[in-house]
Structure 1
């Protein structure tokens, strides 16, 4: 059975079946809140119909002077330009609106099969529209009544007069990364003020802030047209629109549809063909699909739709990671976001005893424990590719405790990735771990050669499945030197390790070094005793294997930590704390290809990124051409 939003949409579009009409009636009777939701949706639907009528009227009267845009600000004046605006009429309109709303709520509460008009499917909501039309008319009346005029006692707000010949400022470019922006063949930089007109973002990511408070993050290549403080048009490309409460009603137009904000954040993509898709990231959006088309339902968070240039609309899978929602701080960060991580932690803004939220498909709270604090490498003069601001892990810390999620507990089709600055130590040091109980989960970190009787004490990248096997890189890592590390695990559980974007030669612990026991129910004390026997058995250096069959590990419930193993219920899991610095830890729910990991590492060499040159973003933007100046 459809949810209530789909039932309302079908009701407005004359598509309710008998069973769905019964379901809608039951939902309406369930609570007064549902009644209010129904009335609100009815008003919105009626309002959108008026918008479309107004759009057609404007096209006829003004002969296309306004193109294919819709301007809700002028609906009231078109419907009733001569309505009186005195304070007395305003009070009357407000009272009448309250009475109409109460009457509609009472009528909706008594809604039955007959009022849903099941027996007349072509006209299922004429009675609703009669009441809604009254409410909408009163709302429009109130709008006019409260609008200041020359005879009103309300003191009008006087805007600062623009300089002669200068168009009013509608938006400002407030942030950008590696962005190339142009208008009328002139380059645009951060800080540029924009009047109405087209803007092309050829590459990178830029953020526009409208005078209404609306923020639009534009990912190149994209062409967008700035219209008014509460309207813009997306010609092609991708944008994310974030609308504050005071700017409700912001409208983003496209050739296929117009999207009207109802308090939300949403992403829109328009293809060269004109086909558009919308993904509601937060809040609610209403859209009008195509000229002359019937208004569609409102869309809520987690819902997506695709619209053709002909006005047809269909539901599609919601894809939050399709869009870049903020301007990244580095080329590396942008590369990671475009690879669609399951979860990623920048770790540049950690503070002890505070909550850090990861990005990606999961928005998990992560608790930063004492012993972890931020370090600004720009003040230390470290040579590239040192990340700018990172997390330092010291002493007997408890790592960063990640909110439990089953997706993090997988043991196949995964990728782990991070920038690390290791320190010499004894034993394993965990970068990311899901070892929440013996013989389950997996971990990525470093280990010294002496721990595994290699005959040296060098640090190696270490990937392990608890109680199953251990895998290390043949090449060693230098303490105190930054390195990009990654590990992929395929469907069979076989790992591959990467150092600085390149595959590393692997070594596997041989079977005769560790007693294999596949029992999942082994007593923890017996398991620790077994581990002790294994350590005593390895009295001489052991030659690890270049190849080995790798059994699939055991999944966990998804308890994970950065910088150490998760704490187990009975304390039988060693902490194996990280000592050193970490930055940009990411987990993916797929196996990243070698060329993809290579691109991530290569992104650190981009001169516009703070990942290797330590410049503040504002300093980097200052080097861009000034507004109105052409790029040499």
Structure 2
């Protein structure tokens, strides 16, 4: 007689509870593992219960780590049997993949190996932004721009840099092994990991022999050579280090501040002041300011489709704070920044975060832009994952002094208050623009990788709104026959001209605004002319 679903659920809950409490012997552990391999119904119940525990743990800000392999598994990995890693790494084990290795990473030619946890429904938690050294990948799944799901990442040499979807940047220096868990947590098994936690990332946990939790902007390096040794060097900010007991509770903790190091030798965490020589630091590298390589053929294709505005940011197109519109003597762009956080450099428009309001905008409004169709086209290159306004169309007449209304907004959408995949592009259209809430939204079909140039086109037409990212189209259909003769201005780089909110961090180039809708064929021609690739 087959057990009922309730019985299966109860048996799965009991197994998980005993595992996380550390009550299983090696023989009992092996018995559960064998049942997971052989019994499909029990395995499904186990995975569902682990997923439920995972969600609860996430809501409670738990600290997951890796799946244990008794009896040699380090204590901090046993604690990690809590929910998420249990499901992730057990599923990989069922495919015959061993993610937890006791032996050191083999010497020889530097290798890059990624093993994805085989559990349906998992979403990417990080993106590869840089690879250095002659790393030979075991497959083609790891390259700059690759989206990485939970799993094990090992490098035998060189360096690899990731950006988690929370915005945290991690740089692995080989030989190293890192287990990716969630957008805001990972476990360092061996080697060194440098981390930068930006202001808007929230809490980030890097597990190891001790747990390092960064709850504020910080920069630090975590190094470990085994289950009983670790060192954490804090260059900026604060990192809370915690030694956890068998039940997951904190036994002792120490706050490590700027220019301090924490050393763990098995029983205690010792914190001391340190002097870090710049040459000795293992640091996350910033995304370089690579210029967009624009051909004369691309510029000719844009001009042939008759935009009203075309800003190119060439060496002869800036006069003081004004950037010339190559289509006419009107509609110049104006830089508003008193701390050099917005500037034209090497042929593109650069934005950096600032505590002050700073932006780039039209020097005169466009009358009747929303009376008919319009298109916004540009190339954009974010330097990190964040929620940022790329361009907004604002009515000239505003109702309040402390914030401004929008007709349309183009955004880099990451961790917003809406439901969407991480790090996508968003096109919001709102008419009449008399409210700060609601509107039509369309999100890009793919995510936008930091450090890469992306072709972005937003179209408003009588049939609805469309958004192209690198030639791939998403649409929302609606009847938009509007009689609107209002004048609108364009503001780029932050939410509006008043609030220094949602500031864009990165570069923009080849910005065009058309008083008509570009066709799919025209958009494809523009993209192919620049890249030589077809989006289809």
Greater strand proportion: 2
- Please report the TM-score for the alignment, with normalisation by the length of structure 2: 0.37
Q: Which has the larger radius of gyration?
A: 1
- Please report the TM-score for the alignment, with normalisation by the length of structure 1: 0.32
Structure scoring higher RCO (CA < 8 A, sep ≥ 6) equals 1
